[in-house]
């Protein structure tokens, strides 16, 4: 790069994407332990999974002394169908980060469709991350039907207004960078026009996923437009990252050189084995046995949701290995470490985590159908006696009685093990992981 090439100034609390090999934002596969493991094996930066702005709005920022994490939590009224559950037991962690181990290397990716809620949500977390990245590339209906993700590529005015608002109202006050992740358009000239507009909003970085919106991960990435996008970004002084079919640090460095981009994201390959961030000169890709044990330990250290941990292990352990079958039969961390042969090293920790998460032998008994029906009837009668109750209490009552809720209420009320796996910031249990 010549000395005359412009560069957008990197804010004091932000980070320059140039020269970085990073973990891509992945639904279900980008939670806290996955990010920490990627950093351990050499990732320069990590993106969290897309989190919808409305899901973060209304959360409370809590410092978790047990895990040394920052937890953004909210109370879920979905679990209130069982009114005997105490509110503190129904508190869901919407977003968890580890300031000591990822801190200023974490980029928060936001799913949004309007500037107001984007700014409102981003202000809640801006002080704890290195940047805010707008998802304008996810092609899944849970995102596009709400005007988010790849749908924003069809509404460039809206996308630009979101970025401009974030730059002015979040980026500048908190001194962090604002960036965007897009997909290529069918015509190169349309992609070029869009990138020029986005670079003019004040962003510090742009990631281009080298697939069109209809394309899926199994389809080979299209890199015909990549050099052009890199050149446009360079003219504007904006860092450009590439995404799509990048499988290792060594390959990423070769592609950076070939196409003139500033950095690269690794997605699916990192989901399977985080050590892909390690250069071959330092050992390269580690055996799956090593990575899996390190992941299990990391997941317990941050008390990761059991369902998410088990899902990731299903991607990391080869399906033909005996360990895979043993893992799938487990229902708690204690059972897991025993099945994988880690009990001597991690058994005590697993017991403590199971106790706090109330899983396995520590799972609390559930109400019978008759008990639930009786409790719901009592809740309904109580609600009818207070017709002037607040909207919030009525929403809670609706959930308790099983009454129909609006989509917005349902989206925010689902407990974490459901909302993250099935809600608008994720995909169903049976679906494949998606890099957004």
Tens-digit pLDDT profile for residues 222-253: 999 999 999 999 999 999 999 999 999 999 99
Options 2.60.40.1110, 3.40.30.10, 3.40.50.300, 3.20.20.70; CATH of 21-282: 3.20.20.70
pLDDT given at position 423: 33
pLDDT given at position 369: 75
pLDDT given at position 383: 55
159 neighbors 149 (Cβ within 8 angstroms):
no
For residue 414, is pLDDT > 50? no
Q: Which of 285, 297, 267, 313 is nearest to 435 (CA)?
A: 267
The per-residue pLDDT of the chain, averaged, comes to 87
For residue 166, is pLDDT > 80? yes
397 neighbors 380 (Cβ within 8 angstroms):
yes
Using CA atoms, how far apart are residues 312 and 72, in angstroms rounded to an integer?
22
For residue 405, is pLDDT > 50? no
For residue 114, is pLDDT > 70? yes
Using CA atoms, how far apart are residues 181 and 15, in angstroms rounded to an integer?
16
Its pTM stands at 0.85
pLDDT for 123-152, tens place per residue?
999 999 999 999 999 998 888 888 999 999
Query: How far is CA 258 from its chain centroid?
Result: 30
Residue 242, strand partner residues = 208, 264
Domain regions of the chain by residue span: 21-282, 288-362
Q: Which two tokens stand for residue 333?
A: 């961390």
Nearest-5° Cα angle at 88, 87 to 92: 95
360 neighbors 331 (Cβ within 8 angstroms):
yes
Using CA atoms, how far apart are residues 273 and 193, in angstroms rounded to an integer?
37
For residue 85, is pLDDT > 70? no
- What single DSSP character describes residue 366? P
Maximum distance among all Cα pairs of the chain, rounded to whole angstroms: 75
425 neighbors 95 (Cβ within 8 angstroms):
no
Active-site pick, 138, 199, 210, 233: 138
Q: Which residues contact 327 (CB under 8 A, 6 or more apart)?
A: 310, 313, 314, 317, 336, 339, 340
pLDDT for 191-200, tens place per residue?
999 999 999 9
Using CA atoms, how far apart are residues 64 and 155, in angstroms rounded to an integer?
40
pLDDT given at position 142: 81
pLDDT given at position 388: 52
Please report, rounded to a whole number, the percentage of residues in the chain having pLDDT higher than 70: 81
pLDDT given at position 88: 46
199 a catalytic residue: no
pLDDT given at position 91: 81
Residue at token pair 């080979």:
220
């Amino acid at each position: 790069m010549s000395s005359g090439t412009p560069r957008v100034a990197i804010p004091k609390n932000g980070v320059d994407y140039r020269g970085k090999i990073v973990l891509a934002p992945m639904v279900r596969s980008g939670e806290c332990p996955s990010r920490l493991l990627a950093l351990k094996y050499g990732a320069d930066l990590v993106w969290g999974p897309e989190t919808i702005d409305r899901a973060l709005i209304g959360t409370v920022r809590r410092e978790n002394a047990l895990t040394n994490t920052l937890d953004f939590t909210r109370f879920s009224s979905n679990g209130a169908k069982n009114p005997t559950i105490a509110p503190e037991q129904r508190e869901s962690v919407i977003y968890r980060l580890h300031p000591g181990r990822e801190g200023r290397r974490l980029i928060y990716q936001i799913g949004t469709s309007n500037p107001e809620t984007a700014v409102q949500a981003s202000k809640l977390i801006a002080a704890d991350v290195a940047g805010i990245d707008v998802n304008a590339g996810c092609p899944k209906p849970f995102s596009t039907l709400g005007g988010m993700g790849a749908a924003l590529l069809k509404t460039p005015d809206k996308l630009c207004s979101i970025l401009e608002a974030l730059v002015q109202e979040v980026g500048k006050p908190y001194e962090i960078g604002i960036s965007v992740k897009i997909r290529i358009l069918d015509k190169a000239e349309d992609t070029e026009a869009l990138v020029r507009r986005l670079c003019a909003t004040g962003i510090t970085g742009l990631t281009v996923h080298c697939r069109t919106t209809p394309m899926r991960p199994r389809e080979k990435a299209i890199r015909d437009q990549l050099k052009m996008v890199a050149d446009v970004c360079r003219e504007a002084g904006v860092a450009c990252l590439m995404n799509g079919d990048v499988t290792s640090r060594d390959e990423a460095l070769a592609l950076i050189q070939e196409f003139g981009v500033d950095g690269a994201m690794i997605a699916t390959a990192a989901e399977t084995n985080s050590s892909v961030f390690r250069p071959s000169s330092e050992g390269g890709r580690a055996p799956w046995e090593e990575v899996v044990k390190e992941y299990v330990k990391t997941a317990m250290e941050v008390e990761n949701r059991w369902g998410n941990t088990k899902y990731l292990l299903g991607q990391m352990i080869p399906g033909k290995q005996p360990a895979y079958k043993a893992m799938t039969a487990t229902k708690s961390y204690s059972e897991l470490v025993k099945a994988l042969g880690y009990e001597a090293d991690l058994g005590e920790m697993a017991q403590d985590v199971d106790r706090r998460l109330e899983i396995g032998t520590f799972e609390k008994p559930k109400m019978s159908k008759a008990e639930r029906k009786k409790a719901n009837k009592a809740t309904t009668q109580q609600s009818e006696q207070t017709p002037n109750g607040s909207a919030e209490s009525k929403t809670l009552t609706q959930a308790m009685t099983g009454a129909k809720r609006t989509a917005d209420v349902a989206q925010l009320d689902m407990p974490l093990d459901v909302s993250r796996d099935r809600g608008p910031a994720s995909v169903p249990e049976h679906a494949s992981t998606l890099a957004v």
